[in-house]
């Protein structure tokens, strides 16, 4: 937990990749909100680049022995910022239902609040769990398909809408259980 405050341990290659994911949101949102669909392939390319940074940041942190508490915190926060912002931009563009963006946003807010509570009380950073990673993958697949607006993929897009909705609830249940166990371990409510 000490390295969260250490400036020299913040600027690792993997942490810079996590931050670049947030920066990529600017052109993604601008292009999603432009009228017409001619920019959608560019949006897809930027989304895939952001997804690649998500894959690479963890891989590089482990292989370069640069895993830090700051990185453990930054990576999921960057994911949540990207998912929520992308979903809201697609709601504004009329490509994603508002209820879905609210559901995804509420899940992420609950996870962040639980993580911060544990971090403040137990001085540990809660790492992502597999159900959460699967949920984010399904959400990303749905958002990408919504971005493309390809009529022949409508049934696949709907499948990922339902699959990601179920995954949101499953991951939220798992995170809630983990948080309760960790808080109860030290008698913290």
Cα–Cα distances in Å, from 54 out to 48, 86, 133, 152? 10, 15, 11, 29
The torsion of the CA quartet 79, 82, 84, 85, rounded to 10 degrees, works out to: 170
Tell me which residue range forms the domain holding 132.
2-185
pLDDT for position 149: 87
Contact 108, 78 (CB under 8 A): no
Query: What's the CA gap between 162 and 12, in Å, rounded?
Result: 37
Measured from the Cβ of residue 167, the count of other Cβ atoms closer than 10 Å reads 22
CATH code for the domain in which residue 41 is found: 1.20.120
Residue 12, pLDDT score: 86
One digit per residue, pLDDT tens: the chain, 189 residues? 444 445 556 788 888 999 999 999 999 999 999 988 889 899 999 999 998 998 888 888 888 888 887 887 788 888 889 999 999 999 999 999 999 999 999 999 988 888 778 777 766 666 677 888 899 899 999 999 999 988 899 999 999 999 999 999 999 999 888 888 877 776 655
CA distances from 71 to 49, 103, 105, 131 (A): 19, 26, 22, 20
Long-range contacts of 101-104 (CB under 8 A, 24+ apart): 103/165, 103/168, 104/139, 104/164, 104/168
| pTM value surpassing 0.85 | no
CB 145 within 8 A of CB 157: yes
Task: Count structural domains, the chain.
Answer: 1
**Structure tokens of 121?**
């009380």
Q: Tokens for 66, please give them.
A: 């640069």
Q: For position 2, what pLDDT does the model report?
A: 46
């Amino acid at each position: 937990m000490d390295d969260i405050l250490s400036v020299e341990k913040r600027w690792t290659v993997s942490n810079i990749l996590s931050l670049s994911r947030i920066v990529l949101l600017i052109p993604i949102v601008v292009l999603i909100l432009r009228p017409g669909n001619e920019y959608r392939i560019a949006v897809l390319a930027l989304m895939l680049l952001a997804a690649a940074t998500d894959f690479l940041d963890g891989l590089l942190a482990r292989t370069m022995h640069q895993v830090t508490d700051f990185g453990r915190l930054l990576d999921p926060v960057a994911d949540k910022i990207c998912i929520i912002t992308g979903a809201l931009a697609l709601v504004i563009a009329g490509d994603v239902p508002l209820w879905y963006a609210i559901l995804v946003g509420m899940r992420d807010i609950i996870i962040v609040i639980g993580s911060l509570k544990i971090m403040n009380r137990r001085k540990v950073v809660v790492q992502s769990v597999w159900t959460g990673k699967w949920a984010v993958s399904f959400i990303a697949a749905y958002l990408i398909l919504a971005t493309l607006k390809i009529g022949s993929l409508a049934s696949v897009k709907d499948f990922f809408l339902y699959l990601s909705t179920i995954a949101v609830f499953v991951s939220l249940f798992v995170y809630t259980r983990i948080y309760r166990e960790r808080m109860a371990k030290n008698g913290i409510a």
